[in-house]
Amino acid sequence: MSTKQYPRTNTNGLPAENLNVAVVGGGLVGSLLALHLGKKGHEVDLFEYREDIRTAELVVGRSINLALSARGRKALAEVGLEEALLSHGIPMRGRMLHDLKGNCKVVPYDANTNQCIYSVGRKHLNEVLLNAAEKYPNIHLHFNHKLQQANLDEGSLRFVDPLTKETTEKQADLIVGCDGAYSAVRKEVIKRPGYDFSQTYIEHGYLELCIPPTKDGQFAMPHNYLHIWPRGKFMMIALPNQDRTWTVTLFMPFTNFYSIKCESDLLAFFRQHFPDAIDLIGRERLIKDFFKIAPQTLVMIKCKPYNVGGKALIIGDAAHAMVPFYGQGMNAGFEDCTVLSQLFNKHGSDVDQILKEFSETRWEDAHAICDLAMYNYIEMRDLVTKRSYLLRKKLDELLFWLMPNTWVPLYNSVSFSHMRYSKCIANRKWQDKILTRVLYCSSVAAVGAAGIFAYRFSSTAQFEQLSSAVLKWIKF
């Protein structure tokens, strides 16, 4: 990877000065943003409160496998890392649904063009990003640096080493908080008068399990799918890993989790709801993993604005944490990097304008994907098994095939395009409106036809039978 830096200009042709940027948070979004800004020639200090993930052991029970799609791929491509990550990722071309009898049904993500999302390991992805950042002489990595104090107006930060208690002072032209849902930088931003902020914990939690490889070292299930066990009020999913294991995540209300108090409760629960998964996971491993760690919470965060003048900004989960059911948390955070990078290209080093425009244009899309993520949980755990959902999906596929530039299904627009998230929702509402009108006209025509045919029936019983059939069709 070349680290040569070139003189930059903004859209007005004026020189763009290099900034001293402090990125707080060395996870996926923070390390990618450091690459985007470092590539532009800015001096970047990346601070992470944890140890270097490249030398740390994988934390069990907290990963929730990542699904890389179009928005994340674009952000990675802009720093030359897309192909490296795709070669490691495992393509998933659709959902494979498991019913109570162990039967499976495939629902493709895109039946027309066979597009896919990629299952990628969080740790591996973070390692790749940090390794790439380390190659830039103007990107400096600092681990075991926990933010202790911040003056966002003046651009000053103080960090403390959790182990040695040593402190580090940092002065920056720009502070960017990429430090997750419980962001320390956002805590400073929230103190501003009139700041809009909401934090919502849903009543459902998650717990991670694992399906090991078969005895001959192969995947225990077809591996090019995201496997789902939809059960109405809760669900279980499984994503494939490079080592041929599966990361299994059980999502359900905490009341259900707390009702399982012993091994017999657990086995009875799985026999009732996930009978085929017991042999896949293994009885002893299921018991061990289930009681190893408490179920984790799921939070959604919405706030605005994302900036403090031209001195500070929050992006990624710090700005818009979402539940994981659309697989867009990482992708939305990566798209933040793309949007911010484009604004740097547009405005040079005019950070006042860059941060203002980012905040004004991004919050609506961030709120939209947070809402879509909540909707998709209902779809995955319940709607995917309903005939009306499958019929709508088939209709979407047909119209998409006939009019690919006009009729883009919701999932395709979110996962396989760069359409603004808010536009994805507006597009879906437009489609629903069109289909409602078509269904209404069809219903009126059907009723009219039924009236005409009624004259041909000699008995009231025959007419009532026909009317009943028409009404059932309309309701469906």
Residues in the chain: 476
Same domain, 425 and 346: no
Half-sphere exposure of 176 (CA within 13 A, CB side): 32
Residues 224, 340 share a domain: yes
**Claim to verify: residue 317 and residue 426 sit in the same structural domain:** no
330 and 426 fall within a common domain: no
Asked if the structure places residue 14 within a domain, the reply is no
The single residue listed with the structure tokens 């994805």 is 424
The confidence band for 475, taking pLDDT boundaries of 50, 70 and 90, is very low
The answer to whether residue 151 is domain-embedded is yes
328, two tokens: 């867009």
pTM, entire model: 0.88
Domain identity same for 26 and 87: yes
Range of the structural domain that residue 397 is part of: 386-464
CA–CA distance, 231 with 197 (Å, rounded to integer): 33
Last residue of one domain, picked from the residues 375, 404, 426: 375
Nearest residue to 312 via CA among 174, 215, 423, 144: 174
> What span, in angstroms and rounded, lies between the C-alpha atoms of 427 and 434?
11
**Res. 12: pLDDT tops 80:** no
Give how far Cα 348 sits from Cα of 17, 21, 221, 334, Å. Answer: 7, 14, 50, 21
Rounded-to-integer distance, Cα 173 and Cα 40, Å: 15
Q: Is residue 3 part of a domain?
A: no
What is d(CA 226, CA 412) in angstroms, rounded to the nearest whole number? 16
Residues 53, 193, single domain; the answer is yes
Examine the fold and report which residue of 345, 375, 405 is the final residue of a domain before the chain moves on. 375
Strand pairing of 167-171 and 156-160?
antiparallel
State which of 53-57, 171-175, 383-387, 444-448 shows the largest mean pLDDT: 171-175
| Within a domain: 344 | yes
Of 85-99, 345-359, 384-398, minimum mean pLDDT range: 384-398
Question: Is 417 exposed, middle or buried (CB count within 10 Å of its CB: 0-12, 13-18, 19+)?
Answer: middle
If you average pLDDT over every residue of the chain, what do you get?
A: 89
Q: Given this model, what pLDDT does residue 436 score?
A: 82
| 3, pLDDT greater than 50 | no
* Closest residue by Cα to residue 208 from 94, 304, 288: 288
Residue 299 sits in a domain whose CATH number is 3.50.50.60
Is residue 428 scored above 80 in pLDDT?
Answer: yes
In a domain, 45, yes or no: yes
User: At 226, which amino acid appears?
Assistant: L
Question: In terms of domains, do 208 and 357 share one?
Answer: yes
434-467, pLDDT tens digit by residue? 888 876 676 556 555 655 655 555 455 555 565 5
**CA 83, CA 71: separation in Å to the nearest integer?**
14
**In-domain check, residue 1:** no
For residue 283, how many other CB atoms are within 10 A of its CB? 13
Contact assessment for residue 132 and residue 75, using Cβ atoms and an 8 Å cutoff = no
Hey, how many other C-beta atoms are within 10 angstroms of the C-beta on 256?
A: 17
What's the confidence (pLDDT) of residue 379? 82
Same-domain pairing of 449 and 331: no
Q: Is the pLDDT of residue 55 over 70?
A: yes
Structural domain contains residue 432:
yes
Q: Exposure string (b/e) for 133-151, b if CB count within 10 Å is 16 or more?
A: beebebbebbbbbbbeebe
- Residue ending a domain, choose from 324, 343, 375: 375
Characterize the bridge pairing of strands 226-230 and 94-98.
parallel
Look at the chain and report how many structural domains it folds into: 2
**Is residue 320 located within the same domain as residue 417?**
no
Q: Kindly state whether residues 93 and 191 are assigned to the same domain.
A: yes
SS (H, E, C) the chain: CCCCCCCCECCCCCECCCCEEEEECCCHHHHHHHHHHHHCCCEEEEECCCCCCCCCCCCCCCCCCEEECHHHHHHHHCCCCHHHHHHHCEEECEEEEECCCCCEEEEECCCCCCCCEEEECHHHHHHHHHHHHHCCCCEEEECCCEEEEEECCCCEEEEECCCCCCEEEEECCEEEECCCCCCHHHHHHHCCCCCEEEEEECCEEEEEEEECCCCCCCCCCCCCCEEEEECCCCEEEEEECCCCCEEEEEEEEHHHHHHCCCHHHHHHHHHHHCHHHHHHHCHHHHHHHHCCCCCECCEEEEEECCEECCCEEECCHHHHCCCHHHCCHHHHHHHHHHHHHHHHHHHCCCHHHHHHHHHHHHHHHHHHHHHHHHHHHHHHHCHHHCHHHHHHHHHHHHHHHHCCCCCCCHHHHHHCCCCCHHHHHHHHHHHHHHHHHHHHHHHHHHHHHHHHHHCCCCCHHHHHHHHHHHHHHHHC
Q: Has residue 474 been placed in a domain?
A: no
pLDDT at 391: 84
Judged against a pLDDT cut of 70, whether residue 58 lies above it is answered with no
Residues 332, 396: one domain?
Answer: no
Residues 254, 156, single domain; the answer is yes
Give the pLDDT confidence of 105-121 residue by residue, as tens digits: 999 998 888 899 999 99
For residue 221, what are the contacts with CB-CB under 8 A and spacing of at least 6? Answer: 96, 211, 227, 238, 246, 280
